[in-house]
Amino acid sequence: MTLLKHEIKMNLKTLLIWTLSVGVLCAGCILLFKSLEESMRGMAAAYSDMGAFSAALGMDKLSVSTLEGFYGTEIALMFAIGGAMFAAMTGASMLSKEEEGHTCEFLLTLPMGRRTVIFGKYMAMALLVLLFNGVTVLLILTGFVGIGEMPDGKTFALYHGAQLLMQLEIGSVCFLISAIAKRRQLGASLGLAMLLYMADLMCRIIPDLEDLKYVTPYYFSNGADILAGGELQGEMVVISLIVTFFSVLAATVVYGKRDLAA
């Protein structure tokens, strides 16, 4: 618990910056919707008729001229990428920052045991991601209240639940990278978050790459799919949970056996 509190405190500034940036951006765009509604109506037909491009961005399923469609295609994209980047950065620095900052000898010679350190740090990462989601969702809902129109509660909750799972999966994979690396791999973690987003776009555009949908967690947590269909694909969620579980397990094994640099 002490380590968990310590990590939250150490990451509070980053959490605030990312939460406010993503949350205010999303809420601001929602507030802009009313003034954009007219022009969106004109563009909706064109957007939905752009073949693979429309499919990649979900505009074949939802109309950008409706608030739900605007949220599922435009805002969900900003939220997904912002959230994934925050989770990736947080996960990637959790363990390796101790070696990079030479604080390893201080932390690991306190009577906790490496497993407790790993558990505490993973829980801190998960809590930070949860707090990021909680506050951004509140800001987004404030935006909806501002324009006097609320989204469907069930699909909204389902979408943000899927986003949370997606961010935890990416955060966990980056947590594993952090257990292996001696330096903070921020570039690699942000690259991974973007690469997985690219994989989602590719598998939607190129039929031969369809199987990438099992690799990228952006696929099952896609805003347009969930808000249009109202459900999650169970097998994808299971894959995501398996990847998350084995990433944490591998991080525990690797970090438990590693020689730690001074």
Partner 1 sequence: MEKAIEITGLTKNYGKHRGVKGISLQVEKGDIFGFLGPNGAGKSTTIRSILGLLHFGQGEIKILGMDSVKQQKEILSRTGYMPSEAMFYPTMKVRDVIRFAADIRRRDCKAEAEKICEVLELDTGKKIEELSLGNRKKVSIVCAMQHKPELLILDEPTSGLDPLMQEAFFKLILNYNSQGTTCFLSSHVLTEVKRYCKNAAIIREGEIIRADTVENLSRSNLRKVRVWEAGEERSFSYSGDMKELIRKLNETELSDVLIEEPSLDELFMHYYSESDAREDRKEEVL
> Which amino acid is residue 93, in one-letter code?
S
Minimum gap (Å) between residue 186 Cβ and partner 1: 17
Minimum gap (Å) between residue 100 Cβ and partner 1: 11
Is 207 a residue that touches partner 1 (CB under 8 A)? no
Is 186 a residue that touches partner 1 (CB under 8 A)? no
Segment lying near partner 1 (by CB under 8 A), choices 51-59, 98-106, 135-143, 160-168: 98-106
Is 262 a residue that touches partner 1 (CB under 8 A)? yes
Residue closer to partner 1 (CB basis): 39 or 103: 103
* Helices and strands: H and E segment counts in the chain: 12, 0
CB-count exposure of residue 39 (10 Å: 0-12, 13-18, 19+): exposed
Segment lying near partner 1 (by CB under 8 A), choices 74-82, 96-104, 201-209, 221-229: 96-104
- Specify whether the CB–CB gap between 99 and 93 falls below 8 A: no
Residues sharing a CB contact under 8 Å with residue 123, sequence separation 6 or more, in sequence order: 4
- Specify whether the CB–CB gap between 79 and 18 falls below 8 A: no
The pair phi, psi for residue 202, each rounded to 5°, is -65, -45
Segment lying near partner 1 (by CB under 8 A), choices 76-84, 134-142, 144-152, 254-262: 254-262
Minimum gap (Å) between residue 115 Cβ and partner 1: 10
Is 10 a residue that touches partner 1 (CB under 8 A)? yes
Residues between 100 and 119 with contacts to partner 1, criterion CB under 8 A: 101-106, 108-113
Distance (Å, rounded) from C-alpha 135 to C-alpha 34?
23
Minimum gap (Å) between residue 175 Cβ and partner 1: 19
- Specify whether the CB–CB gap between 181 and 97 falls below 8 A: no
Residues sharing a CB contact under 8 Å with residue 31, sequence separation 6 or more, in sequence order: 143, 146, 147
Give me the residues that bind partner 1 (CB under 8 A), please: 2-3, 6, 10, 101-106, 108-113, 257, 259-260, 262
